[in-house]
Structure 1
Amino acid sequence: MTTFAPFPRPSGQPASAAAPAVEAFELSKHYGKADARVTALDGVSVSFEAGRFTAIMGPSGSGKSTLMHCLAGLDTPDAGRILLGGTEISALNDRQLTALRRERIGFVFQAFNLVPTLNAEQNITLPLALAGSTADPAWFDYVVGTLGLKDRLTHRPHELSGGQQQRVAVARALLTRPDVVFGDEPTGNLDSKAGGEVLAMLRRSSQELGQTIIMVTHDPVAASYADRVVLMSDGHLVGDLDNPTTGSVLTALGKLGA
């Protein structure tokens, strides 16, 4: 596995904060109507501490992806409140919500979501470009160097391996130093070696930079990199594991029939 250099901490930035990074109160979300109505979230309340790496797990259809999409402002709950660093995102209009996602949230998706016509460097800096800002050169160099991308910055996505594309996506998510990084099965398309290195990078960004990571995954090995695992079933929170291991996650999922 790749050996990473220590993270440079921005001046004055604490390792963690006391206030929750994200809080949800009585979230409900339904899809369909009448007999086809499905309850994805049923009065879910949960808090995610700042500076921790949390995995959300559960059987297919448990509501884990819906919860993450609502927390990240990508979907709107039918009822309930969501606070991101004290900002109630349900009270924001579309323009304000777009700005919040761009400036305070990072995303790492299973499908990478890179722009095919842009090279790696342009994909990494895209959120800043959209905000009319530029990257801190020292931080940019550190992130791309740590992720092994320095010699791939002029390559377009089709010229990169799957692991390299996901590293670009991780670099893009970390570059703005967002309040929260959301990961939706971020290693689902990677081999075990590349996936392990991406997960190690996310874990270290939490431990050493105080970055808050919230990741949906079905993989107990991926979840073992987290500080905490939140378990869901049928739209409810049904369990909470601290300091998870692959074994403890497998046991908990087994009890859910996952």
Structure 2
Amino acid sequence: MSALVSEVGTRTAAAAHNLVKVYGKGDTAVRALDGINVAFQAGRFTAIMGPSGSGKSTLMHCLAGLDTVDSGEIHIGQTEITKLNDKDLTKLRRDRVGFVFQAFNLLPTLTAEQNILLGLELAGRKPDREWFDTIVNVLGLRDRLTHRPTELSGGQQQRVACARALVARPEVIFADEPTGNLDSRSGAEVLDFLRMSVRKMGQTVIMVTHDPVAASYADRVVLLADGRLAGEIHQPTTESVVNALTHLGA
């Protein structure tokens, strides 16, 4: 299937083929996704952008198995997730996908270390302590592991959320406006880490953002408008993203 190959010789981490998602019925129906075909390379950092209402968050939620689709196919690796039942979909999200959201979603009664390891604990999996140590050291969280979320800055909380997403070694990390609640310095730290996780750890990151500066950290920007693909930018800069969004009316 051509939609599952983005470039010859590269492995695809996630893909959508003829994806349609409709909200509402009849005259009030909105086609949030209108026949989208897109593939995301493994080991790359991709940003999804577009004007408000373009379908970017809907696309990410569908790709991650957080929302259903009306028609079309979604693959994570070689698995077509649109055919999975609820139990298998839950298992896939737990074992093969990581999430970083705008809201940090940390449990306030747990320490940073406990929050990082919670997903593995719930799955009955033992952490790879060497991998855990690598992530913690890279993120600069070593001296914060015993702190609870209220004792951490926003940037530190988001770094804990990034560590939680990475510790299970997922095939794909989906990041939904990960810097939306952060100041520019903390946001840059999180984006630096996401980019480094791709370049040095081989991670795959797919990020939704409205911020051209955040998008400039990615290897590629996928542009949406009115639920359809509207182009892409390779090796984006802040300026190239701003220009593209201006042409889309964002």
Provide TM-score, normalisation by structure 2: 0.95
Q: Which runs of 4+ in 1 moved over 3 A?
A: none
The question of 1:160 aligning with 2:159 is answered no
What is aligned with 1:216?
Answer: 208
1:180: which partner in 2? 172
1:74 aligns with 2:66: yes
How far 1:117 moved relative to its partner? 2.0
Partner of 1:14: none
**Per-residue Cα deviation, 1:6-33 (whole angstroms, up to 9, x for no partner):** xxxxxxxxxxx82211111001001112
How many residue pairs get matched?
Answer: 242
Establish whether residue 248 from structure 1 lines up as the match of residue 240 from structure 2: yes
Q: 1:19 aligns with which of 11, 14, 18?
A: 11
Counterpart in the other structure of 1:234: 226
Distance 1:172 1:194 in 2: 18
Comparing 110-119 with 247-256, greater Cα deviation is found at: 110-119
Shift of 1:35: 2.5
- Write out aligned runs for 1:1-258 (5 A): 18-258=10-250
For the aligned residues, what is the CA RMSD?
1.0
CA deviation string 1:78-118 (max 9, x = no partner): 10001111001011111111111111101000001112222
Specify the SS of the correspondent of 2:32. strand
C-alpha distance in structure 2 between counterparts of 1:39 and 1:131, whole Å: 36
Aligned residues with identical type, % of pairs: 68
In structure 2, stretches of 5+ residues that fail to align are 1-8
Shift, 1:212, TM fit: 0.7
- Measured in 2, the distance between the counterparts of 1:158 and 1:216 equals 26
**Aligned partner of residue 125 in structure 1, secondary structure:** helix
Between 1:124-133 and 1:154-163, the stretch displaced more is 154-163
